[in-house]
Amino acid sequence: MTRLVLIIAVATNLVFDVAPASAGMIVLDDAVAWWRMDSNTNDSNAPPASNGTVHGDVGYVAVPGAGFRGNNGVAASFDGNDYIEFATGGGSELYGNFSDGLTVFGRIDPTLDSASHGNVLNQDGYSGGVRCWNLEASRTSGGRITWRVWLGGTSYQIGLTGVSDLYNQPGLHDVVGVFRPGAAIEIYLDGTRVSYRTTGIPTYLDASSTVPVVIGRRAGGVAPAYYDGLIESAAIWNRPLSANEIFGLSVPEPTTIFLFGIGLIAMMFQRRRR
Ligand SMILES: [Ca+2]
Ligand SMILES: [Ca+2]
Ligand SMILES: [Ca+2]
Q: What is the pLDDT of residue 208?
A: 92
Please give the C-alpha separations between residue 213 and each of 23, 257, 269, in angstroms, as whole numbers. Answer: 27, 38, 54
Centre of ligand 1 from the C-alpha of residue 45, in Å: 4
Q: What is the pLDDT of residue 258?
A: 58
- Domain positions in the chain: 24-252
Give SS3 for 13.
helix
Give SS3 for 227.
coil
Per-residue pLDDT band at 253 (split at 50, 70, 90): low
Q: What is the pLDDT of residue 230?
A: 95
Contacts of residue 230, defined as CB under 8 A and 6 or more positions apart, other chains included, come to: 61, 63, 75, 76, 77, 78, 108, 109, 110, 172
DSSP 184: E
Centre of ligand 2 from the C-alpha of residue 77, in Å: 8
| Percent composition of the chain: helix, strand, coil (DSSP 3-state, to 5) | 20, 30, 45
pLDDT by residue (tens digit) across 155-171? 787 876 544 567 677 89
Best CA proximity match to 98, nearest among 246, 245, 203, 210: 203
Q: What is the pLDDT of residue 138?
A: 76
Centre of ligand 2 from the C-alpha of residue 99, in Å: 36
Centre of ligand 1 from the C-alpha of residue 247, in Å: 22
Centre of ligand 1 from the C-alpha of residue 46, in Å: 4
Note the pTM of the prediction, 2 decimals.
Answer: 0.84
Centre of ligand 1 from the C-alpha of residue 240, in Å: 17
- Fold type of domain 24-252: Jelly Rolls (2.60.120)
Centre of ligand 1 from the C-alpha of residue 272, in Å: 50
pLDDT by residue (tens digit) across 158-208? 876 544 567 677 899 999 999 999 999 999 999 999 899 999 999 999 999
The environment of the single-atom ion ligand 1, i.e. residues with CB closer than 5 A, is 33, 43, 45
Nearest ligand to the CA of 35 is 3
**d(C-alpha 159, C-alpha 14), whole Å:** 38
pLDDT by residue (tens digit) across 254-263? 555 555 666 6
Vertex 76, ends 75 and 79: CA angle to 5°? 130
pLDDT by residue (tens digit) across 1-56? 445 544 444 444 444 443 444 667 889 999 999 999 999 999 999 999 999 999 99
Residue 70 near residue 25, CB atoms below 8 Å: yes
Vertex 33, ends 65 and 131: CA angle to 5°? 110
Centre of ligand 1 from the C-alpha of residue 30, in Å: 9
Alpha-carbon dihedral sign for residues 20, 21, 24, 30: negative
